[in-house]
Amino acid sequence: MSSLHPPARHGVLATLLSVVLVTIAQAATADSLCQRPGRWIDPASRDPIPVRDLYPELAGQQVVLLGERHDNAEHHRWQLHALAGLHAHHPELVLGFEMFPRSVQPALDRWVAGELSEAAFLAAVDWDNVWGFDPALYLPLFHFARIQQVPMVALNVERSLVSAVGRGGWASVPVEDREGVGDPAPAVEAYRRDLAAVYAMGHGGQVSEGEAPLDALADDPGFQRFVEAQLTWDRAMAEALAGARERHGVDLAVGVMGQGHVLFGHGVPHQLRDLGLDAVAELVPLTARADCEGLVAGMARAVFTVPDYQPPRTPPGPRLGVMIEGAEPGVRITRVLDDSIAATTGLQAGDVITEAAGEMLAEAGDLIRVVQRQAPGTWLPLRVDRDGEALELVARFPPVAAP
């Protein structure tokens, strides 16, 4: 009998050792998955997702959303590769973009048809005014659609509609001015909580230290209008994606948009479900890092690790320090940032800038272009309408651009 004890004890130790090794291997695998670029990960289980399994699943969806941070080049490179994979498994699809309001849809059609050069296309969609980010970030996606003859769809509405909702709420906008957008589904509580945190960043005086933003802002009409403005964006893009599937007779629509409209299914996916589209997959990029920071269960169907590449910093361009919107004519200031050139100049929220450097301003992009031309150490004359009173102000830019 005693001769049986050593082998039995050895078997137990071997089992324990194997369990420890498996646990270490699993931890190392999860760690290496987040650390290395080029991996698909299930954020709920933190397990790798084989490409051979993921793309056939995605090809069977009604809508696939590709989230992004607008100024991150790695995000746009990932979107291109994800789009290519989807197209390989499901060539009959449409490609929608948050970047374009519906009014420029004819220009998108002409681009895909090969009738416009890059420069002519960017001019036709009024890129600098409707979006403004470096077009080089998006052009590979546009060229993919053109080469593969994938219909491009404008998902957004005019900024003036969202601004009107932000000023007076959804109900204040006449039905005929809503660009055909239907009533949005109410925001879920988790989405309201996320939006409250964003809103509180710009309205810190309304939130006491230690107080939950949503609790502090629950009865704030300004916050309610802010939520309704976000829902306007979400609903407009959801309806455009749903409509594009029907109009083009395809089963799959792919949407390119900011991550805030995608994460946790709160934004556009929530509105799509309200429209009866339940087969929706959210995909987002995640910067590769060893500790899996930012990987949260439920954030998306899958995340893809992209390189932690930080391009060389370029000196920032001149900034006036205001939040603006179109005023027809002119540019209305909605907020003046503290310690900014605008604050020193005496500009106030509610002012309408009608001229800058002698140029008449028709829209927000006109002021942006004038300011970006301003050299350090120069003065910028402004004509301002303040409650019906015409003012002449001069913005003085410091000799060296502020960091």
Q: For residues 192 and 248, state if they share a domain.
A: yes
Q: For residues 297 and 327, state if they share a domain.
A: no
What percentage of the chain carries pLDDT values higher than 70?
Answer: 86
Question: For residue 90, how many other CB atoms are within 10 A of its CB?
Answer: 19
Q: For residues 72 and 160, state if they share a domain.
A: yes
pTM of the model: 0.74
Q: For residues 51 and 119, state if they share a domain.
A: yes
Q: What backbone torsions phi and psi does residue 402 show, to the nearest 5 degrees?
A: -65, 145
- Domain end, chosen from 306, 336, 358, is at 306
Across the range 230-246, mean pLDDT stands at 98
Q: For residues 345 and 207, state if they share a domain.
A: no
- The Cα 173–Cα 50 span in angstroms is 47
Q: For residues 139 and 275, state if they share a domain.
A: yes
Least confident of 70-74, 272-276, 325-329: 325-329
CA distances from 400 to 188, 217, 336, 344 (A): 46, 39, 21, 16
Identify the band that residue 8 occupies on the pLDDT scale cut at 50, 70 and 90. Answer: very low
Q: CATH number of the domain that 343 lies in?
A: 2.30.42.10
- Domain end, chosen from 271, 306, 341, is at 306
Q: Which domain holds residue 96?
A: 47-306
Return the structure tokens found at 97: 């973009």
pLDDT at 2: 37
Least confident of 7-21, 130-144, 226-240, 312-326: 7-21
Across the range 105-126, mean pLDDT stands at 95
pLDDT at 315: 62
pLDDT at 302: 97
Q: Write the single-letter amino acid at 55.
A: Y
Q: What backbone torsions phi and psi does residue 111 show, to the nearest 5 degrees?
A: -65, -50
Question: Is 232 among the domain residues?
Answer: yes
Q: For residues 124 and 185, state if they share a domain.
A: yes
Q: For residues 295 and 329, state if they share a domain.
A: no
pLDDT at 186: 97
Q: For residues 84 and 226, state if they share a domain.
A: yes
Q: What is the DSSP string of 272-340?
A: HHHTT---EEEEEEEE--TT-TT--TTS-SEEEEE----PPP-PPPP---EEEEE-SSSEEEEEE-TTS
Question: Is 171 among the domain residues?
Answer: yes
Average pLDDT, the chain: 87
Identify the band that residue 211 occupies on the pLDDT scale cut at 50, 70 and 90. Answer: low
pLDDT at 6: 41
What percentage of the chain carries pLDDT values higher than 90?
Answer: 67
Q: For residues 235 and 354, state if they share a domain.
A: no
| Total tally of structural domains belonging to the chain | 2
Question: Is 142 among the domain residues?
Answer: yes
Question: Is 29 among the domain residues?
Answer: no
pLDDT (tens digit per residue) in 247-257: 999 999 999 99
Q: CATH number of the domain that 151 lies in?
A: 3.40.50.11550
pLDDT (tens digit per residue) in 155-169: 999 989 999 999 999
